[in-house]
Amino acid sequence: MTVSDTPRNNTLTMRAQPLLAVDDVERAGEWYRKVLNARSGHGGQDYEQLLVDGHMILQLHRLDEGHHHGPLGDPSLARGNGVAIWFETTDFDGTVARAREAGGDVVTDVHVNPNAGHREIWLRDLDGYLVVFAEPG
């Protein structure tokens, strides 16, 4: 991004709102609320929004619920092949502690990323999505 591409008032002109298709929205929502120290912005069996500091940072949608758009994925395939859900957090140690308490499969334990120079932990959530938590670089 060049200086001319940067909005003058630092207003974000686009924001990612990732949506994960999960088997059990309430179970996944509980896990992510705990780990992210988030609150529910919607709640329910089919759809959830997770809010941190009043901003939606993640959506969860029941895999087999098509609503108006059709199914989001094939339940016979692994979730998130080739995708990493990446979170930068200023509370890295707290996030790691909450992730360990909540469970999930640690793929790469806390380490320093030699390229970015910050600490990270890589794990799989309850649905098998690869989730990364990193401290600011």
| Average pLDDT of the residues of the chain | 91
pLDDT at site 1: 47
Q: Is the pTM of this model over 0.85?
A: yes
Residue 71 exposed, middle or buried by CB count within 10 Å (0-12, 13-18, 19+): middle
Alpha helices in the chain (DSSP H): 25-36, 92-102
pLDDT at site 126: 95
pLDDT at site 109: 98
What is the tens place of the pLDDT at every residue in 95-115? 999 999 999 899 999 999 999
Tokens, residue 30: 């509980």
Other C-beta atoms closer than 10 Å to the C-beta of 24 total 15
What is the tens place of the pLDDT at every residue in 74-89? 888 888 999 999 999 9
